Amino acid sequence: MSPRTTRPAKIPRPPRRTSSHERTNRTLWERDARAYERRNAETLERGDPMGWGMWHLPERKLRILGDFRGKDVLELGCGAARWSVALAQRGAHVVGLDFSAARLEQARAEMRAGKVDFPLVEASAESVPLPSARFDIVFCDWGAVTFTDPYRTVPEVARLLRPGGLFAFSNSSPFRTLCEDRKRDRLGPRLRYDYFDLHRVEYGDEVNFQLPYGRWIRLFRDHSLEVEDLLEVQPPANARTTYLSAASQAWARRWPIEVIWRVRKSSSTPGRTRANPRV
């Protein structure tokens, strides 16, 4: 099977108009795909490819995904797909999804180098052209969840997961989003923004999304997803990263800069719908 091809969804859905943040972020990733890889190669290629977050903390220690052998796994915003390649080599049935053609080109190179072949889908995580209940695990490591509206992505993940399936992702902590000088890319010890306003976060040529913790949890529950764990990452003493300045690394030793959510789709309850999903 060609890497780009996947089985079509059983019920074709009408095409959705791309949102402004998808356009902004896609332009950025198409432009910066190579620079991102160059800048962060030292972190991304260090040790086991299955490493979480800015410090590349090994999955074999954190055990976020649990047993993935023989399972259907979707990586949302796979980039160069190092995680997916490693999962496929270790017996998972993987699909990688990314909305950037340049990133998927890098994924194809990693697949060739890793001698594995699995479907790659060029699409946005907010509207995934794959059938419902297709996956046991949907995950990403600072992938599409950082760049997509959770009010679109979380329902989509809930649709894609089988009952009892796992949703796991790492992203920024709300602390970081609130303490960041967004223009100068610096972190400080004071809250600069209103907590209750957290949602769309603008960085000039990039749009991220973040929610207050309570709203994440309510959104998960509204889609029959129960929180199993929330790991607030404190880097080990010897940890290093290419993603942060020395000052930001010092900040991250005092406050959580990134988190890893582990959320399970209920094996029985159907999803509930709220009249106003933001409240």
- Binding positions for ligand SAM, rule: CB under 6 A: 22, 25, 29, 44, 77, 79-80, 97-100, 103, 124-126, 141-144, 147-148
**Residue 168 C-beta: closest distance to ligand SAM, Å:** 12
The answer to whether 149 touches 126, Cβ cutoff 8 Å, is yes
Q: Which residue, 15 or 270, is less far from ligand SAM as judged by CB?
A: 15
User: Nearer to ligand SAM by C-beta: 192 or 200?
Assistant: 200
The answer to whether 193 and 177 have CB atoms below 8 angstroms apart is yes
Of 200, 201, 206, the C-alpha closest to 278 is 200
Q: Which is nearer to ligand SAM, 124 or 241 (CB)?
A: 124
Q: Taking the mean position of all CA atoms in its chain, how far away is CA 110?
A: 19
Q: How far is the CB of 51 from ligand SAM (least distance, A)?
A: 9
Q: What contacts 206, CB < 8 A, 6 or more positions away?
A: 24, 25, 28, 147
In the complex, the smallest distance separating the C-beta of residue 82 from ligand SAM, rounded to whole angstroms, is 7
Measured from the CB atom, the residue of 98 and 258 that comes closer to ligand SAM is 98
* Residues 207-241: b if buried by 16+ CB within 10 A, e if exposed: bbbbbbeebbbebbbbbbbeeeeebebebeeebeb
Give the pairing of strands 258-265 and 57-58. unpaired
Residue among 234 and 242 whose Cβ is closer to ligand SAM: 242
Collapse the DSSP code of 21 into the 3-class scheme (helix H, G, I; strand E, B; otherwise coil) and give the result.
Answer: helix
* Axis crossing angle, helix 101-114 with helix 20-44, rounded to the nearest 10: 30
Structure tokens, 133: 């209940």
Q: Which amino acid is at 63?
A: R
Least CB distance to ligand SAM at residue 30 (A): 8
Which residue, 26 or 215, is less far from ligand SAM as judged by CB?
26
